Structure 1
Amino acid sequence: MTAWVVAARRSPVGTAGHAFAEVEAARLAAPVLRAVADEARTVTGLAPDEVVLGNCMGPGGDVARVAALAAGLDVPALTVDRQCASGLAAVVSAVAQVRAGSPLVLAGGVESASTAPWRSWPPAPGREPVRYERAPFAPAEVGDPDMGEANDRLAARAGVSRERQDAYAAESHRRAHASREAGRFDAEVVPVAGVARDERPRAGMSAARLARLRPAFRTAEEGGTVTAGNSCGVNDGAAVVAVVGERPGVPALRVLGSATVACDPNDPGRGLVPATRRVLERTGRSLDEVDVVELNEAFAGQVLACCDELGLDPARVCPEGGALGLGHPWGASGALLVVRLHAQLVRSGHGGLGLAAIAAGGGQGVALLVEAT
């Protein structure tokens, strides 16, 4: 049994502290779940069996179940955390469920960086609680670098220059802004809390302008090249797809295969490389056959290093703009890649093969290969 993506929608992507500053994760996901459930029922006649959502920084308490109930869907729900790959991991989980017999599963992810709770290590004798900004990705003795520093070092080892990074980031901004202004995102976006447009894309983000920014994670003297400008933002957003187990009577994405891998936690940005290679090997395809490549652009240097290792022309990545220009709502970003593939291959009528791949903290990667049918 195979699986098909029959509907795919997302919220606008907001900048943390701005458009969705007071919209908690479940309330951000609920309108998108409702819209995808309604569209899926229209084209298949089916109601969802379950909801699976990725989330990294929410309040706990099974965000997916809360979001499902807020959307008027009284079905079982599961929240998964594979860090930045959580949204794509949720889609992979939904594919497995429909292959096991579930008629329809809604899957995706949500992140509200704006409302993420503060967390603290508990007090010790003579010590107050100690706030931390993220949970560990790996044991300290194995190596648990922050993503910015790790990907700065990855870019350096791969020989990716600061100039290439700034040029790539500027192009991602240009593509995302042009796509938004041309209305290419309109059909996939579900308005939430009165917001109907992505907040991050800006005109005039040139490589020359980005070149003025200082390195953010290692100093220039240390060889640092990753800046706030050639890194993704901190964002809020949700993305959801409907996965069915029987061939639909409408154009859809057929899931050809997926791969989830582990890699060195000290080099987490590389995770999408072995994941991409594995899914291509499993499906007997090559990158040359893929029509649309959607890689999560966490850092320009990281994406360029991965492209170089894969022998992939970076100009082929995220044709309508990626996370550098659009935003990276952590738990939702992997699912957002699938929404973008559905828009470019199915909704546009273009057809062809699509690849979604994303790396995650702790040294993991997830990839999904689909075909428009």
Structure 2
Amino acid sequence: MLHEFLLAERDEILALCSKKIARLADSMSSSDEMERGLPVFYDELIEVLRADIDESGEAHNNSIESVHRASAERRGKESLKLGYSISQVVHGYGALCQAITQYIQENSSETASPREFNRLNFCLDIAIAEAVTEFNRGQRENAERDEVLRLGFLAHELRNALTSASLASQLIITGKVGANGSTSRILENAHRRMRDIIDRSLVEVRLRNESTGQYQRCRVIHLVSEVEATAWFEASAKSIQVCVEVAPELEVFIDRHLIISALSNLVQNAIKFTKQGGIVWIRGKAVGGRVLLEIEDQCGGLPPGEAEELFKAFSQMGTDKSGLGIGLTISRRAVSLNKGILSVRDIPHQGCVFSIDLPKASSPLPTT
């Protein structure tokens, strides 16, 4: 009987299965739940095959589904948490099936009956379906949770800016403060903050709904000059000098709106985190068939190993927590849509250099 053979050779078959899964998972991490998952399913499979000796029919099929559902759901959920793909979830069960078949062929003179193999495949189908269903459900829940969190941040930031603007406006209207004093600057800052939030949200909508950009030939110096002009007020408020070093002949093929948005966000961040009276550099140069734009700040440097963390949604470094924490995430996507690369280099105890690597105008028009 197949169930007797599987019980007697349990450890050897599961060891063979583990080797197959390790090759599929490559360097992916595991967990206690993942390690327990297939052995639990294996033991359930033995019980189903043992019970099937005297039972048959649709009613028994339903009982098989209920037996495997809980363990399969746990495996699907754990796979998502560990960053596995749907393919790896499916292949995990496939590896067990292969291990059983291979081990029977190599170590047993008896063959399983067609009914036993049908039951084996039926159990695998049920387990895969339940695991994938749970995996997909978890993905949807994560996406919905991220969206709620994003909307919450957006509403919170807009409310803060609107509250500042309303208070400043009320003080000016009632004549309690002058129209040209520090309160008017608070009003201007609040309006600018709301504009930035809305502009960035519109860029994100474009990135989500448009698979291609609206490309055109642009001079890099014109892009930088526009960004520098809009950043002047914030820089002057902190007595920060913005130094531009861009070769005037450089041209790129880009979606102008997306690159302006990304560049503006990087320059605004550089000003935000640079100390009072510091310097922010904007450089542009040709490197082979590419154009390299660099924004260097004087933020004091990053904690070790934190560079890539900056690009994660809702990640914020430093003591200034104003903003949504999604600007760099959006900027990287905007640059990527232009066949570019956005990266960061840390200068310990001094600052950061954010680099936008784009194709020169002489290169072919970016395609998806």
Q: How does the TM-score come out when normalised to structure 1?
A: 0.21
Pick 1 or 2: higher relative contact order, CA cutoff 8 A, min separation 6: 1
Counting helix residues as a fraction of each chain, which structure ranks higher? 2
Counting strand residues as a fraction of each chain, which structure ranks higher? 1
